[in-house]
Chains A and B, each alone.
Chain A
Amino acid sequence: MDRFDVNCFCGNWPFFYVRENTVDDLLKLHNRHGIAGGLISSLEAIFYQDPYEAEVQLAKNIQGTPYRHIMILNPMLPAWKADLARCVEKLGVVGIRLMPGFHGYTLSDPVIDEVIKQVKQYDLYFMITLRMQDDRTTWMCHPAKVFMEDVADFVSRHSDVRILLNHIRLHEIDRLHELGVSWDNLYVDTSGFKDGINPIEPVIQRDFLDRHIIYGSGAPMLETYASVLQLETADIDAKRKEQIFSSEFYIHK
């Protein structure tokens, strides 16, 4: 079964030099680790005032590649709905990524309900990216914390949409569980797991996450080989590893 990366990017990061950050670089990196494709977003689209310009560039760059385009959607921008329509209809966008910590809103903002209507209308993948790097090491731009209470409330209000949380930490998963969140429509990617002898193993031990953990690297901001090696060396059933690597439970709608 092919490996598939649900959380990858290309482009420049404003605060430090990211080496090997083009689509071609990502393709080589993924090939090196047996990863056949991914859901990709533009790093520039996080920061541009008119992110559509960055989305156009990404659409051009991934033509003919195994990558599928995830738009960075900022619902605080006045033309977000028109941009979403353009992205879907002209650029072939298959999903959206919300980044509330960067864009100055919370998941309880009424505009997010409107976003969800659009997600359903276009049948899009839907992601919430909790962070892009270690929260302690941000510089100049300090994204607001996304609270698990808000996530839990959001999930309970939108039980008919499949939600992927990117770059979640283990303690945040446990907090969501404490809050009684339903995991039926909720998924987490592996890009935020780091500590311990093997960071995947304690995640797997949470039975409620069965079929809800999927492979995401966070490349090129995060080290792809770290995300691969931690799964390859995890003391878990081989079939389970391949299910996570293939992201099958999330990708196949």
Chain B
Amino acid sequence: MILDAMERYGIERTYVSGLQDTISDEAQIEFLNHSVAEFIYENPAKIGGAVYVNPRHKNVLDVIKSATQDQGFEMIKLWCCTFADDLSVDPIMEYACENGIPVLFHAFKKSAEQIPNESTGIHVANIARRHPHTKIVMAHFGGNCYDGIPCIRDLHNVWCDQSGTPFHRNEIQYAVENLGAERVLFGTDNAYVSNIAQVLAADISEEQKEMIFSGNARKLLDRNYRI
């Protein structure tokens, strides 16, 4: 389905991660990352990966090293196993910083039914302050952009992606006004047309749209690009 969507909408490259239970055991993590690794191996030109980890696992750094050194993963993904600012995340951030690898944090402020350990903008801000030289992506604009974006507005090691955000108008424009276009990333989370349209319809320049669609991601993912 991802490849079909990419072909249909002219998306050259997609970064994926595997997710299942909100708190994954080691076997599940291994299975999910193996599935993504196979996908990368089969489609190296089109698919990149974010290695999904549970910071509480003893082998977490081994999983990350193997994925990023041997299996072609280019990002690290953390979901709801811990809050983003949990102390167990620190070694991951240090490794990511040393190796120029961005860390993608799920963050979603919900008005109801917040998942246990589900980070919001403030958790991402806390970890970003502790690790100012680690490249961080706050997913979904923090869920509710008016909650998430103000938290990380002044933290220049944090980028934001629009994936999975509601298809409201003005969110891209709000993000660009608050963060600058250079810190906004295109993402889908399985919502292709609406998210493409959000960028195309935003009242921003063509150059800024290009940055959001691809330029910023290319720069961020370059391991030689350091903060």
A residues touching B (Cβ–Cβ < 8 Å)? 15-20, 133-139, 142, 194-199, 219-226, 228-230, 233
Contact = CB atoms under 8 A, between A and B. Distances in A.
Nearest to B144: A137
A198 B111 contact: no
B198 interface: yes
Given A136-B111, A142-B111, A230-B194, A225 B200 contact: yes
Contacts of A135: 111-112
B146 A139 contact: yes
A139 B167 contact: no
B192 A198 contact: yes
Given A136-B111, A138-B111, A142-B111, A221 B194 contact: no
B193 A230 contact: yes
A226 B1 CA distance: 20
A133 B113 CA distance: 16
Given A223-B201, A229-B200, 14 more contacts: A16-B146, A133-B166, A134-B168, A136-B143, A136-B166, A137-B110, A139-B147, A194-B167, A195-B190, A197-B1, A197-B4, A197-B8, A224-B201, A226-B201
A226 B198 contact: yes
B203 interface: yes
Contacts of A19: 169-170, 173, 203
A142 B112 contact: yes
Q: Which of A226, A228, A229 has the most CB of B within 10 A?
A: A226
13 contacts: A16-B146, A18-B169, A19-B169, A19-B203, A133-B166, A134-B168, A136-B144, A136-B166, A137-B109, A137-B111, A197-B8, A225-B198, A226-B198
B194 A223 contact: yes
A225 B170 contact: no
B191 interface: yes
Nearest to B200: A225
Contact of B197 (A197, A219, A229): A229
A229 B5 CA distance: 14
A230 B111 CA distance: 28
B196 interface: yes
Interface of B: 1, 4-5, 8-9, 108-113, 143-144, 146-147, 166-170, 173, 190-194, 196-198, 200-201, 203
A60 to B, nearest CB: 24
Contacts of A230: 193-194, 197
Given A136-B110, A195-B190, A226 B170 contact: no
A222 B144 contact: no
A15 B145 CA distance: 12
A232 to B, nearest CB: 9
A134 B147 CA distance: 14
Contacts of B170: 16-19
Shortest beta-carbon contacts, A-B, top 9:
A134-B166, A226-B197, A225-B201, A226-B194, A137-B144, A230-B193, A225-B197, A197-B5, A138-B111
Contacts of B112: 135-136, 142
A221 B168 contact: yes
Nearest to A200: B193
B97 to A, nearest CB: 32
Contacts of A15: 146
Contacts of A233: 8-9, 193
Contacts of B109: 137
A197 B168 contact: no
B213 to A, nearest CB: 15
A233 B9 CA distance: 9
Contacts of B192: 196-198
A199 B196 CA distance: 13
A51 B208 CA distance: 41
Q: Which of B9, B113, B144, B169 has the most CB of A within 10 A?
A: B169
A54 to B, nearest CB: 21
A226 B146 contact: no
Nearest to B173: A19
A17 B196 CA distance: 22
B9 to A, nearest CB: 8
A82 to B, nearest CB: 35
Contact of A223 (B108, B113, B144, B167): B167
A233 B10 CA distance: 13
